[in-house]
Amino acid sequence: MTVLLEIDNLTRKFGPFTAVAGVNFKVEQGEVLGFLGPNGAGKSTTMKMITGFLAPTSGTVRVGGFDVTVSPIAAKRQIGYMPEGAPSYADMTPRGFLNFIAEVRGIDGKARRQRIADVIEKAALQSVLDQPIDTLSKGYKCRVGLAQAILHDPPILILDEPTDGLDPNQKHDVRELIHDMAKTKAIIISTHILEEVEAVCSRALIIARGRILAEGRPEGHGWRFGTHFAEPGRLDAVFRSITTGTNEVAA
């Protein structure tokens, strides 16, 4: 498969504090990578460096072959980014917001109309298109955030806590959309929700204290991270063992 994202020795320091320390990984087309870690692990800082919102202290990020530092505009064209909380403009409607994003992205005319129609259908926004975003439920705000992220049909999606705070039905809808998009894209889901990894990811990295501690994949009916195997619904014990350095593991 085609490697769409390459991270090489990525490091970010804030004064004497090292938030991300020498992170390395690749993501291929067709993969959904779970970037899993406790709060404060370095997840969001890493996502901000990948998307060009934050410059690395050292190391490189290559997006679709473009170095984010050397060719930031070309790299950002390859990425759809949904930050945590799906921020938008509260007084806009979804229709107005998507038109605004299309204009920012340089999508005009027939192409704009077609892309907006496509993402409205994929995110199931038809019933709320002309309501102020501020009046929408958290689930619909999340859908608006996903719609803007995929509007330019990017090959790479970066989703930061995409289902945090959603009810079970809303989570199901978002996960189905992620599954559909994963066939042709490389997707990173940054999360501290273990259920999210089990539900949608094809691979996962565990990060804590700014470092990648383990890589895992589905195996049988569970997940394996090195010597640790987690049966369905018991990934929490493996996660605690890896991130805290204890000997607690799932059976």
- Categorize the per-residue pLDDT at 1 as very low, low, confident or very high, splitting at 50, 70 and 90: confident
58 and 129 co-located in one domain: no
Closest CA to 41 of 163, 223, 191, 162: 191
pLDDT(174) > 90: no
pLDDT score of 145:
92
pLDDT score of 134:
94
Taking the C-alpha atoms of residue 198 and residue 101, their distance in angstroms, rounded to an integer, is 32
pLDDT(248) > 60: no
Three-class DSSP category at 45: helix
CATH for 210: 3.40.50.300
Task: Supply the mean pLDDT for the chain.
Answer: 91
64 and 161 co-located in one domain: yes
Run of H or E residues at 228:
strand 228-230
Tens digit of each residue's pLDDT (9 = 90 or more) over 36-64: 998 889 998 999 999 999 999 999 999 99
Beta bridge partners of 188: 33, 158
Run of H or E residues at 186:
strand 186-191
Among the residue ranges 48-57, 111-120, 149-158, 164-173, the one predicted with the least confidence is 164-173
pLDDT score of 32:
96
In a domain, 14, yes or no: yes
Structure tokens at 34: 């779970």
51 and 101 co-located in one domain: no
147 and 161 co-located in one domain: no
- Categorize the per-residue pLDDT at 246 as very low, low, confident or very high, splitting at 50, 70 and 90: low
Phi-psi region of 198 (alpha: psi -120 to 50; beta: other; left: phi over 0): alpha
Three-class DSSP category at 171: helix
164 and 67 co-located in one domain: yes
Domain count, the chain: 2
Structure tokens at 238: 């493996």
Residue range(s) defining the domain that contains residue 98: 88-153
Structure tokens at 220: 């049988």
Closest CA to 101 of 120, 84, 85: 120
Tens digit of each residue's pLDDT (9 = 90 or more) over 59-106: 999 999 999 999 999 999 999 999 887 888 989 999 999 999 999 999
pLDDT score of 250:
36
